[in-house]
Amino acid sequence: MEKGYFITGTDTNVGKTWATIALMRYFKSRGQSVAGMKPVASGCLIQDGRLRNEDALLIQENASVPIDYDLINPYAYEFPVSPHIAGVKNPVDLQWLATKFELLKNMADIIVVEGAGGWCTPLNDRESISDLARALALPVIIVVAIRLGCINHARLTYQAVKQSGLNCAGWIAVCTDPELLCRDENIQTIKSTVHAPLLGLLPYSQVADFNFLSTQMNI
């Protein structure tokens, strides 16, 4: 069993957080302690005088042990734009994030780290999400939004992950478009062209039932 996983997506708004929480509950259901991390988050709101991200709060809520918010989400940016733009006055430092991750790693059996945006989303003027994944040295799980264009996006992201030298542990299909034609054929095409296992198929839903979604995982 791996110590943790890095969750990336084929784009933004593809269901990474739903997949992350479903994975956390899946591991908890198997008797393992779990913690999560969203190192960088844009689009945060002020709560109690501090910037907080809705997805990071969900990750904090679903951890097996109490964890300080600042350890889960070290970089919380106000504006919902790419981190290299949102954080121009406070740019991401990958070494600092790696230090935070090392602290978190000792707090649970499994650590699930959710990236921001897609694999090539820039974090600062030099580095991207892919560099963060390499710095943490975790196996990568790709979240694929099953919608028009998903085959191309899934194949490109998989190729980029493999070229980075990291292990792609698999992919999770998230059905985001209830009107999509030939959904099953799209999923089957990705299965036949992405040489990593399908770890979960999350059906379309307007409201997340994370206990149910956790039962759709198979790692």
* CA pair distance 40, 58, nearest whole angstrom: 14
Q: Is 55 annotated as a binding residue?
A: yes
* CA pair distance 206, 33, nearest whole angstrom: 28
Q: Is 185 annotated as a binding residue?
A: no
CB atoms under 10 Å from CB of 68, counted, come to 10
What is the per-residue pLDDT for 1? 47
CB atoms under 10 Å from CB of 37, counted, come to 29
100 classed as catalytic: no
Q: Is 48 annotated as a binding residue?
A: no
Q: Is 192 annotated as a binding residue?
A: no
- Regions of the chain short of the pLDDT cut 70: 1-2
Class of the domain covering 4-214: alpha beta
pLDDT in tens, 71-89: 999 999 999 999 999 999 9
Determine whether 205 is exposed, middle or buried from the number of CB atoms within 10 Å of its CB (0-12, 13-18, 19+).
Answer: middle
SS (H, E, C) the chain: CCCEEEEEECCCCCCHHHHHHHHHHHHHHCCCCEEEECCEECCCEEECCEEECHHHHHHHHCCCCCCCHHHHCCEECCCCCCHHHHCCCCCCCHHHHHHHHHHHHCCCCEEEEECCCCCCCECCCCCEHHHHHHHHCCCEEEEEECCCCHHHHHHHHHHHHHHCCCCEEEEEEECCCCCCCCHHHHHHHHHHHCCCCEEEEECCCCCCCHHHHHCCECC
What is the per-residue pLDDT for 48? 87
pLDDT in tens, 1-21: 468 999 999 999 999 999 999
Of the residues 3, 16, 28, 38, which is catalytic?
Answer: 38
Q: What is the pTM of this model?
A: 0.96
What is the per-residue pLDDT for 2? 64
Q: Is 205 annotated as a binding residue?
A: yes
Which pair of tokens denotes residue 20? Answer: 């992350």
* CA pair distance 41, 44, nearest whole angstrom: 7
Q: Is 115 annotated as a binding residue?
A: yes
